[in-house]
Amino acid sequence: MTDDVRFDVRGGFGWITLDRQRALNALTLDVIRGMQKHLDGWAENPKVGAFLVEGAGEKAFCAGGDVVAVRRSRIEDGEGNAPTQFMLDFFGEEYRLNRTISEVPKPYVALMDGVTMGGGVGISVHGDFRVVTDRTLFAMPETGIGLFPDVGGGWFLPRCPGETGTYLALTGVPVKAADCLYVGAATHYVPSEKIDALRDALGDLPSGENLSDAISAVLGNFSEPAGDAPLAVHRELIDSCFRHDSVEEILEALRAEGSEFALKTAELLELRSPTSLKMTLELMRRGARCASLAEDLETEFALVQSFLTGEDFFEGVRALLVDKDRSPKWSPASLAEVTDETVEAYFSRDGKAGL
């Protein structure tokens, strides 16, 4: 199907290896489709008792979705500001894959060794077993590219302890293994030097049965304490400042708190897309009331179509990933210009329905 991913059956596992190392294993539409096809098929295969996904190389599990290709689609095939069919297929099928991962009837293991961001979070955090290492760098950095934390971010981030999910969503800051465990994004920490041995141990598990207990036992044998979580140190401040329901109030609270951490956090927020910040905060509040991941993903699919008619997402991708000047020109440029009516319009626009 594509050279960017490999599918194998090892022991009792349907084994997926992302192998697009030049792009930190970012997800293309073909990779998404291949994963969907194999998960669907393996779910019905009695010889496959579990699934495992990993990234090739030592740098990344998966750095996200191929948003550069999404931007290219607008340039090459776009008509006005309407989303192209490729854009709708990319996001719709990615979100459908995220939902499938959460619903598959067999254990799902993600080895999050290396960079795990955006779309990489979507193919890991919804699974049963989520292994991080000392090389893990975890983030939902979408507000920095003019988008919002999608792939189910509206479901899992509001369910992180206190307001840590809101903090991660708005700032997009990367965190390491201990924080991943602290917020519930990971289930086990395994030192990177043990990952090869862990792969062998999992691959030796028998086929033809549900492997949940056996996987749990193997991971228990390899896992170690990850140390103190930096987010826990700042938890009281995060909860106090990010409990507000407007970005302006959050910034005001951070500046009033005045510590180095608070002021650096405020500076980070000021660099993000104003539209993304306000839509993300609203998504966090709505997501906290969602009844299921599936419901949240439907909301996200409608919301992303609104973003695809705007400019910030394409400008953010240009500035950070294409030209790499890191100087996006956001439009609107200020929080004040993103009104409550603007926010509501983004969430209520008609678009292609359903995943």
Q: Of 65, 127, 165, 316, which one is the catalytic site residue?
A: 65
Catalytic position from the list 150, 163, 179, 315: 150
| 4, 142, 282, 315: the active-site residue | 142
Amino acid at 222: F
Q: Which of 55, 64, 114, 119 is catalytic?
A: 119
Measure the CA–CA gap between 182 and 55, rounded to whole angstroms.
Answer: 23
DSSP state of 83: P
Instruction: Reply yes or no on whether 142 is catalytic.
Output: yes
- What is the CB neighbour count within 10 angstroms for residue 295? 15
If residue 216 lies in a helix (H) or strand (E), which one and from where to where?
helix 212-222
The token pair at 1 is 């199907």
**In sequence order, which residues have a C-beta less than 8 Å from that of residue 192 and are 6 or more positions away?**
58, 113, 133, 134, 135
Catalytic status, residue 65: yes
Cα separation, 135 vs 12, in Å, equals 27
Question: Alpha-carbon distance 18 to 110, whole Å?
Answer: 11
SS3 content of the chain, % helix, strand, coil (to 5): 55, 10, 35
Centre a 10 Å sphere on the Cβ of residue 261 and count the other Cβ atoms it contains: 15
Which uninterrupted H or E stretch holds 14? Answer: strand 13-18
Phi, psi of 17 (to 5 degrees): -120, 110
CB 92 within 8 A of CB 86: no
| Long-range CB contact pairs, 69-76, < 8 A, 24+ | 69/28, 69/29, 70/317, 71/313, 71/314, 71/317, 71/318, 71/322, 74/308, 74/314
Q: Is 119 a catalytic residue?
A: yes
φ and ψ of 52, to 5 deg: -140, 135
Q: Which residues are catalytic?
A: 65, 119, 142, 150
